[in-house]
Amino acid sequence: MKRLPHFILCLLLLIPVYRLQAQTQEIKVTKLTPNVWVHTSYSTYQGVLVPSHGLVVSTKEGAVLLDTGWGNEPTEQLLTWVKTNLKQPVKVCVPTHWHDDKIGGMGAVQQQGIPVMTSELTAILAARHGKGTPDVTFATDTIFTVGGQRFEVYFPGGGHTADNVVVYLPQQKILFAGCFIKDARSKNLGNITDADLESWPGAIRKVQQRFPKAELVVPSHGPWGDQSLLSHTLELLQEHKK
- The pLDDT score that the predictor gives to residue 44 is 86
Neighbouring CB atoms inside 10 A of 23's CB total 14
- The pLDDT score that the predictor gives to residue 182 is 98
Catalytic residue among 97, 183, 221, 232: 97
Catalytic residue among 72, 135, 191, 194: 191
**Around 114, how many Cα atoms within 13 Å sit in the side-chain half-sphere?**
26
Query: Are 51 and 140 in contact, with CB atoms under 8 Å apart?
Result: no
- The pLDDT score that the predictor gives to residue 10 is 37
Catalytic residue among 39, 53, 99, 232: 99
- The pLDDT score that the predictor gives to residue 241 is 83
Count Cβ atoms within 10 A of the Cβ of residue 70 and give its class: 0-12 exposed, 13-18 middle, 19 or more buried.
Answer: buried
Distances in Å between the Cα of 121 and the Cα atoms of 126, 128, 155 are: 8, 10, 10
Active site residue 129: no
Active site residue 39: no
Query: Are 27 and 49 in contact, with CB atoms under 8 Å apart?
Result: no
Active site residue 240: no
Query: Are 92 and 111 in contact, with CB atoms under 8 Å apart?
Result: no
Domains in the chain, start-ordered, CATH in brackets? 31-241 (3.60.15.10)
Catalytic residue among 101, 164, 183, 221: 101
The residue count of the chain comes to 242
- The pLDDT score that the predictor gives to residue 45 is 76
Query: Are 237 and 197 in contact, with CB atoms under 8 Å apart?
Result: yes
State pTM to two decimals.
0.89
Largest CA distance in the chain: 71
Distances in Å between the Cα of 17 and the Cα atoms of 13, 23, 25, 26, 154 are: 7, 10, 12, 15, 42
Active site residue 101: yes
Active site residue 164: no
In this prediction, the residues of the chain whose per-residue pLDDT falls under 70 are: 1-24
Count Cβ atoms within 10 A of the Cβ of residue 11 and give its class: 0-12 exposed, 13-18 middle, 19 or more buried.
Answer: exposed
